[in-house]
Structure 1
Amino acid sequence: MAELAQNTADISMIPAEEKLISPWKENWQSFYTNKLAVIGLGIVIFFIIIAIIAPWIAPYSYKDVVLVDRMQAPSSKHWFGTDDFGRDIFSRVLYGARISLWVGFFSVLGSVVVGTFLGIVAGYYGRWVDTIISRIFDIMLAFPSILLAIAVVSVLGPSLQNALIAIAVINIPNFGRLIRSKVLSVKQEEYIMAARAVGMKDARILLRHILPNSVSPVIVQATLAIATAIIEAAALGFLGLGAQPPMPEWGKMLADSRNYITQAPWTLFFPGMAIMLTVLGFNLMGDGLRDVLDPKMKQ
């Protein structure tokens, strides 16, 4: 009794803010201590804001052609200079943020939804279902991702929407295999077996128990996949298979300017820098989320 009273007294002496800390607050505190992750988050937020307010801060329309102003160097009139059609590069880079982020977010969203569904089904039911889905994933992963994306766009036709679909398709196996491996371990937990024993339906088990306990690595992978999707969209645009003129997609801007690398290097520098900074921001933020959400990374 004396020991119990002493333990109770010790607990009562703990400050209230240290007794109950919500998981969200704890994760944010861990994330906030990672300075690189905070920098990455700041970069991502900056480009999201730029994409939202681009029509209000761009000094010119992204499709205005002024041939008398072609190939002008950066100046007070054109901060990033002009391209071979006299279009303002600063305005086109601002509008390009909309396109790149749109492709990155929604292609990854499609990959997450489809890949998570297939991975959960394969991991939970196993047997022939798992075999079929896993073999499909293996076949898709046997091809280099960019070549598979080129093949999909070639079949569907070159356009921004078809590039988005292609990027979503090639990333499905990554999320599917990730969630499958997590489900294989989670479904062996005692609370899952107890749920089955009391007659809980599979759909309820999957939605209420397995999915919430398997989604953490998917969040981290999705953040990193957005950066990859932006690069893949730029690659398809560079090859002429993504956004079509006059849309100011960063990869397409690089392709249109590659013949002027010595004559007008600013036409490549600023779109390339935008791609680099955006990808860097998502990578830094993704690494920070991995450190917070992955139990193996915690001290």
Structure 2
Amino acid sequence: MAQVETQTVVQSKEKVSSPWRDAWKVLRKNKAAVIGFIIILFFIAIALLAPFITDYKYDEGVLTDKNKPPSAEHWFGTDYNGRDVFTRVVYGAQLSLWVGFFSVIGSIIVGTFFGLLAGYYGRWIDMLISRIFDIMLAFPSILLAIAIVAILGPSLQNALLAISIINVPTYGRLVRSRVLSLKEEEYVTAARAIGMKDSRILFRHILPNSLAPIIVTGTLGIATAIIEAASLGFLGLGAQAPEPEWGKMLADSRQYIQKAPWTVIYPGLSIMLTVLGFNLIGDGLRDALDPRMKN
């Protein structure tokens, strides 16, 4: 009898699944999300393997080979300086993904911290932080980024910093709204009743229950950050020559769009596919992590 009860307990434990495991099962069945994962993994792979994929250097060219069409020697053709476009697109994946990931990570860390403070403590802290967010959101994001880079100086690192700053309010307000609802839950009240410290309540109970919307918004935010980095690069405020950032490549080649369209097509396609991949993953995560989307 004891053995039967033990087997029953073991089987029941195996059947118990966490919300994250359930979300992963739903995500795997989402064909669009799977396609998004494949696209992003492809670009991550070529970014990591760039030195092994091409024999050319992204900053060296032969002027006698400038603006040559795609061929067996130069798969994506060459640009106005005789540089291999395929090589520059491959190395550009490193820069664009680097900016996308780290700018969003910075925005999430800072925005989450201030969102937790504003939502949990309220009163003048909430008012001060919320007004700062409102002021930042009153400006168009790209104009605010341009202003920050203009002050700091044009470079890829400053563009990354600017993109991180302009997106802080997005995550801060998201976390604040979650904290406002979660801090009224019974388990938070019980934690306060037993004398648990505020920091432990915030980072042990409230923050873990706020991760789902942060992850979804962060995934979509990577796509937005890549576009913003490309926009700053196109305006000459992001990556500087000879860095092969996709937006900078578009800006440098726009005057050759009729004579050498391949110099614009391939960087543009890279931006489009990368953004599409992150958007598909973000939509899939939203469907998988949002309880309202489940039957």
Using the size of structure 1 for normalisation, the TM-score is: 0.94
Secondary structure of the 2:209 match is coil
One of 196, 199, 203 as aligned partner of 1:203 = 199
Compare 41-50 and 151-160 and name the one that shifted more.
41-50
Task: Give the deviation of 1:29 after TM superposition.
Answer: 1.0
Secondary structure of the corresponding residue to residue 214 of structure 1: helix
1:20 counterpart = 2:16: yes
Which among 224, 227, 232 is matched to residue 228 of structure 1?
224
Alignment of structure 1 residues 236-255 onto 2, 5 Å: 236-255=232-251
Give the secondary structure class of the aligned counterpart of 1:60.
coil
Partner of 1:148: 144
- Rounded to whole Å, the distance in 2 between the matches of 1:59 and 1:141 is 45
Distance in 2, Cα, partners of 1:26 & 1:197: 32
1:262 aligns with 2:258: yes
Q: How far does residue 118 in structure 1 lie from its aligned partner after superposition?
A: 0.3
Alignment map for 1:68-217 (pairs within 5 Å)? 68-217=64-213
**Deviation at 1:201?**
0.7
Task: Name the CA distance, whole Å, in 2 between partners of 1:227 and 1:58.
Answer: 26
Paired with 2:113 and 2:215, the residues of 1 have a C-alpha distance of 15
Matches of 1:152 and 1:117, distance apart in 2: 22
By how many angstroms is 1:21 displaced?
2.9
Q: Give the AA of the match of 2:123.
A: R
Structure 1 match to 2:44: 48
1:274 Cα shift? Answer: 0.2
Which runs of 5 or more residues in structure 1 are unaligned?
Answer: 1-8
Matched to 1:208, the amino acid is: R
What does residue 6 of structure 1 align with?
Answer: none
Quick one: distance in 2 between partners of 1:56 and 1:85? 23
Query: Distance in 2 between the 1:108 and 1:54 partners?
Result: 24
Q: Is 1:30 the equivalent of 2:17? A: no
Aligned CA RMSD, in angstroms, stands at 1.8
Structure 2: 5+ residue runs without aligned partners? none
Equivalenced residue count is 291
What is the deviation of 1:59?
A: 2.7
One-letter amino acid of the counterpart of residue 24, structure 2: W
- Give the distance between the partners of 1:187 and 1:16, measured in 2 at CA: 32
Determine which of 278, 282, 289 is the counterpart of 1:286. Answer: 282
Which amino acid is the alignment partner of residue 190 of structure 2? A
Residues of 2 paired with 1:82 and 1:113: CA distance?
Answer: 41
Q: What letter matches 2:258 in structure 1? A: T
Specify the SS of the correspondent of 1:225: helix
Secondary structure at 1:71's aligned position in 2? coil
Provide the secondary structure at the position in 1 that maps to 2:178: helix
Q: Indicate the percent of aligned positions where both proteins have the same amino acid.
A: 68
Amino acid at match of 1:86: G
Deviation at 1:18, TM superposition (A): 7.2
Q: What SS is found at the alignment partner of 1:215?
A: helix
Spell out, residue by residue over 1:215-239, the C-alpha distance to the aligned partner (whole angstroms, 9 max, x if none): 1100000000000000000000000
State the Cα deviation string for residues 11-65 of structure 1 (Å, max 9, x = none): x6xx769722343332211001110001001111111111111111123110112
Q: What corresponds to 1:3 in structure 2?
A: none
